[in-house]
Amino acid sequence: MGGKIFVISAPSGTGKTTIQKQLVKLLPYLKTVITYTTRKPRIGEKDGIDYNFVPIEKFKKMIEKDEFLEYANVYGNFYGTPKKEVIEKLKKDENVLLVIDTQGGMNIKKIFPDAILIGILPPSIKEQEERLRKRGDLSEEEIKKRIKLAKYERKILMKYYNYRVINKDIEETVEKIKKIIERSKKW
């Protein structure tokens, strides 16, 4: 397999989905793999584009059939990276971008030790909390839970990830990550 895996992880409310979309536009050789999830779509999300939205029963069957490279329960919903799609892209010497949580990132690193892990951090916990509130789709309890988990994720990003980028300005953050990928990719 000649391609390389790039993982982007970030606490909730840090802008990882926006960053992913911009990177794919700027770096056409970077291929994404659509994650499976059991959560309900948010407003504007489309099945098969943003995520593969599946019922919990189907997700569990996929686990039994060993169809995921990694999967995790995050905020009460399951998320999983499909093994077949990633392996096919790597066999075609394609560079793969995965946007997954830190637990998933650590699992990918165990399977693919040369994977590049890039962590995105908010400028501050206070700003992250403000971003979560602006989304308007989370309860107060859910916001507190995500902030608590973000503190834990921050420790993992700081200790184990190859790179960390603070997302103060989205364009600047995208440019920094683009440079990391350009330096590290396989042709």
User: Could you state, in order of their start, the residue ranges of all structural domains in the chain?
Assistant: 5-184
Q: What is the pLDDT of residue 3?
A: 87
pTM of the model: 0.88
Task: In whole angstroms, give the CA distance from residue 165 to residue 161.
Answer: 11
Q: Chain centroid to CA 120: how far? A: 10
Q: Show the low-confidence residues of the chain (pLDDT under 50).
A: 187
Q: What is the pLDDT of residue 125?
A: 78
> Which DSSP letter does residue 39 get?
S
Domain at 5-184, CATH homologous superfamily: P-loop containing nucleotide triphosphate hydrolases (3.40.50.300)
Q: What is the pLDDT of residue 61?
A: 98
- Cα 159 to Cα 6, 13, 38, 69, 162: the distances in Å are 17, 21, 29, 23, 9
Q: What is the pLDDT of residue 134?
A: 81
